[in-house]
Structure 1
Amino acid sequence: MSKLISAKKISLKNHPEIREDAIQKFIFDNPNVLGLGELEPIRREKIQVSGGRLDILLADDNGTRYEVEIQLGATDPSHIIRTIEYWDNERKRYPQYDHCAVIVAEEITGRFMNVIQLFNGAIPLIAMQIQAVKVGDDIQLSFVKVLDRVSYAVDEEDEVEPTDRNYWNKKSDVIKYVDEIFEDVIEYAPGFELNYNKYYIGVRKNGISQNFISFKPKKKFIYLNVKCGDDSNYIEELNEAGVEYTYDSRGRGLRLKISKMEEYKVNKAVFEKVIKEAMERKNIE
């Protein structure tokens, strides 16, 4: 039978041996402890063109980068300003990614919580508190999200910057996946054509964008974004088929990852159901 024990909460800031760089390294080596999904560590102590160093840069597989700043003790104005400044630097330098600022501190005070909430929404920002307890000779860390990012749904039509086929040929080695999938789509959505934009490939009919689906080719795989809402009718089928997906709250639908065309061909019936659901929601016949 498990024993119940009490743990002693400690202050990392006042600990004689623990330094901020140790916490930084722990998060960088174990990024999933933040509870933000499957994250890949990109860089520690990234030098900024405007001066200073970003503590940690992380990324997920959906094209989001997280600019993480750590502070032992309570938040202070310079910490908040630095976090936002580094986030702003990175998003301007790498606009092809979605960016989110992350503040990690031992204490996020009520006063600064109010300040952070003013930015939230206008600035994608997550606030997390570190809790440290001593267990024997070890220190156990846990991370509690006290303020989550507010995401506003955005239609791709609002982010249009036209490009052409050559632009995507240079960016992706698997652009042919888009062609093969779209050949199937126009069998039940006749009259549509591909619409090439800077950040995605949408679809249009008679010159008008109607992005019930859109494609985001990467170097070696593509994302198929399907605006089927948060309907879970097909989640079980996708799981059984082994299709890799995430729910895209900004795009109000599913983001399906296709690494090989065989994955699509074997599960074509499931993909077709999800796409037709999106068509129904857009009243496309």
Structure 2
Amino acid sequence: MEIVDCVQTSLRAVGKDEHWIRDWIVRKPSRLGLGDLEIRRHEIVRREHHGGRIDILAYRREVNTFYEIEIMMDDSDADHGIRTLAFWSRERLKNPDANHVAVLVSEALSVKYQSLLEGLPQVLPFIGIDIKVLMLASKKRLVAILPSIIVQSRDVTIEIGDSANRAAKSLPFTGAESAEKNCPKNPYLML
């Protein structure tokens, strides 16, 4: 096995945009580490109740839970956070008999609003997923994408990894040091 050096980069630096990362997640939603999700809709435009857009609406049947997923490139900003919570709230009203979890996916989630992100899961079902993009030093141009759950509500049940055979379990953790313990062992590669 060859071990290569790597340098952290961004999706923009390797020529990818928010639509690319959305499609990457839609093709294989288990990459987020939330279990076997069924994508109900993506790039949803809402005109009623002040309009707006949500990136992905996913559903996990065995726990009757919808995931309202907002994707953000670069640093986190308040607009994406508010949009995530607004769509979470609207979807709860549309499907009141199901559980709902607001999910924010960002390349720099843990930097700017860390105290807010650590407080949100204490009052509502919220998951924050940080995406690291690593350029590998090799002859081929390889980039690894490593999504990590860095904050989540204690009562949210998820399944680690891609296997449907693993038992669902609650992961009560917040903060980056806990995320390091629960990172996937094989980051996803793109050429």
- TM-score (structure 2 length as normaliser): 0.74
1:102 offset after TM fit, Å? 0.5
1:152-167 matches, within 5 Å, as none
Give the letter aligned to residue 133 of structure 2: A
Tell me which moved more, 19-28 or 35-44: 35-44
1:110 offset after TM fit, Å? 4.3
Number of the residue aligned with 1:24: 22
Give the letter aligned to residue 28 of structure 1: V
1:75-224 matches, within 5 Å, as 75-135=76-136, 136-151=140-155
Q: Secondary structure at the match of 2:154?
A: coil
1:246 offset after TM fit, Å? 5.5
Distance of 2:4 and 2:166 partners within structure 1: 40
Number of the residue aligned with 2:175: none
Change (3 A) 1:119 1:70: same
Distance of 1:9 and 1:111 partners within structure 2: 18
Q: Which has the higher strand share?
A: 2
Q: Which protein is bigger by CA-based radius of gyration?
A: 1
Is 1:53 matched with 2:53? yes
Change (3 A) 1:247 1:19: closer
Q: Does the 8 Å CA contact 1:74/1:105 hold for their aligned counterparts?
A: yes
Give the letter aligned to residue 29 of structure 2: P
* Structure 1 gap segments, 5+ residues each: 153-243, 250-285
* 1:22-75 Cα shifts (integer Å, max 9, x gaps): 000000111000111111111111122331111011111221111111111111
Tell me which moved more, 4-13 or 73-82: 4-13
CA RMSD of aligned residues (A): 2.1
Q: Secondary structure at the match of 2:119?
A: helix
Give the letter aligned to residue 82 of structure 2: I
1:138 offset after TM fit, Å? 3.4
**Which structure is richer in relative contact order (CA contacts within 8 A, separation 6 or more)?**
2
Q: Does the 8 Å CA contact 1:43/1:58 hold for their aligned counterparts?
A: yes
1:16 offset after TM fit, Å? 6.0
Distance of 1:85 and 1:47 partners within structure 2: 13
Q: Does the 8 Å CA contact 2:76/2:112 hold for their aligned counterparts?
A: no
* Structure 2 gap segments, 5+ residues each: 157-164, 171-191
Q: Secondary structure at the match of 1:104?
A: strand
Change (3 A) 1:6 1:109: same
Q: Does the 8 Å CA contact 1:121/1:151 hold for their aligned counterparts?
A: no
1:119 offset after TM fit, Å? 2.2
Distance of 1:148 and 1:139 partners within structure 2: 27
Which stretches of structure 1, 4 residues or longer, exceed 3 Å deviation after superposition?
244-249
Distance of 1:120 and 1:149 partners within structure 2: 4
Is 1:34 matched with 2:38? no
Q: Does the 8 Å CA contact 1:64/1:98 hold for their aligned counterparts?
A: yes
1:139 offset after TM fit, Å? 2.5
Change (3 A) 1:246 1:91: farther
Number of the residue aligned with 2:184: none
Say how many residue pairs are matched. Answer: 156
